[in-house]
Amino acid sequence: MTTKIFSKEEVKEKIRKHIFDDLWDGEDHGKSEITDDYVISEHVFIDPTDIMSIIMHIEDEYDLDISVEDGEKLRTINNFTEYVSKKVALKI
């Protein structure tokens, strides 16, 4: 099985899409104010269940296993992007 190579921008866009489109059902909720360094769990419309949903989505999307310890460190879109990019690169 070959692993598809994703650019960091592709990874970032997929994570943002999952948050904004899937979790928020396309509603705005001030998404224009959320930068890639924004701490996701501090946003009023993201709770721990949503964080778990993001992690599970990433695991499925990229065929990764994210440990609880690593998951607790993933707080921003940039954290998620860097983490996923590195993990995917290790699989190649």
CATH code assigned at 74: 1.10.1200.10
Span 61-89, mean pLDDT? Answer: 91
pTM: 0.79
Read off the pLDDT band of 44 (50, 70, 90): low
Q: Would 47 be classed as within a structural domain?
A: yes
> Which of the pair, 25 or 84, is modelled with greater confidence?
84
State how many domains the chain has.
Answer: 1
Q: Would 2 be classed as within a structural domain?
A: no
Q: Which of 14-23, 43-52, 62-71 has the highest mean pLDDT?
A: 62-71
What is the H or E stretch that residue 10 is in? helix 8-17
Q: If we measure between CA atoms, which residue out of 27, 62, 60, 59 comes closest to residue 46?
A: 27
Q: Would 3 be classed as within a structural domain?
A: no
Ordered DSSP codes for 29-89: TTGGG--TTSBGGGSTT--HHHHHHHHHHHHHHHT----HHHHHH--BHHHHHHHHHHHHH
Q: Would 69 be classed as within a structural domain?
A: yes
| pLDDT, position 32 | 75
| pLDDT, position 3 | 54
| pLDDT, position 83 | 93
Residue 40, domain extent: 8-91
